[in-house]
Each structure stands twice: as C-alpha cells, then as structure tokens.
C-alpha cells in the first residue's frame, strides 16, 4: 500500500486551513469517510493508505499549488 508522508499530510492540512474546511468538508472533497479524514490528518507519522485515498490526497494537494 502507498505511504502518506508527513509532508503530504502537512500540505493537506494547509489546504484544509486555507479553505476553512472542517474534517467533514475535507472528507467530502477526498470522497472518504469523516473517520478516514480524521485518521490521515491526526499526526505527522507516515501512514499506509489505500490507493484510492493516496490518489485523492495527491490530487487535493496538487489543486492547492
């Protein structure tokens, strides 16, 4: 499974903050559950995720740059 790096998590949180999104809003953008959105943003440790989650996080990060 792909690995979300701490840098990817920080970029995702930065995008969430810039757009003033709640975890629920973030979950909708990523097409994941709110629990998954909380899980991938709770800390700065590398985390294995499913391919779908990895791809949507990557796309969300790319849209902010």
Angle of CA points 52, 9, 47, to nearest 5°: 60
Model pLDDT for residues 4-56, shown as the tens digit of each residue: 999 999 999 999 999 999 999 999 999 999 999 999 999 999 999 999 999 99
Counting every residue, how long is the chain? 65
Contact 2, 40 (CB under 8 A): no
Task: Please report, for the domain that includes residue 33, its CATH number.
Answer: 1.10.260
Contact 10, 44 (CB under 8 A): yes
Rounded to two decimals, the pTM is: 0.88
Q: How confident is the model at residue 58 (pLDDT cuts 50, 70, 90)?
A: very high
Number of separate domains in the chain: 1
**What is the domain range of residue 23?**
3-63
């Amino acid at each position: 499974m792909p690995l979300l790096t701490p840098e990817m998590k920080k970029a995702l949180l930065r995008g969430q903050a810039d757009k003033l999104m709640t975890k629920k809003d973030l979950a909708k953008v990523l097409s994941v559950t709110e629990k998954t959105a909380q899980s991938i943003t709770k800390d700065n440790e590398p985390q294995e995720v499913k391919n779908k989650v990895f791809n949507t996080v990557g796309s969300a990060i790319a849209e902010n740059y």
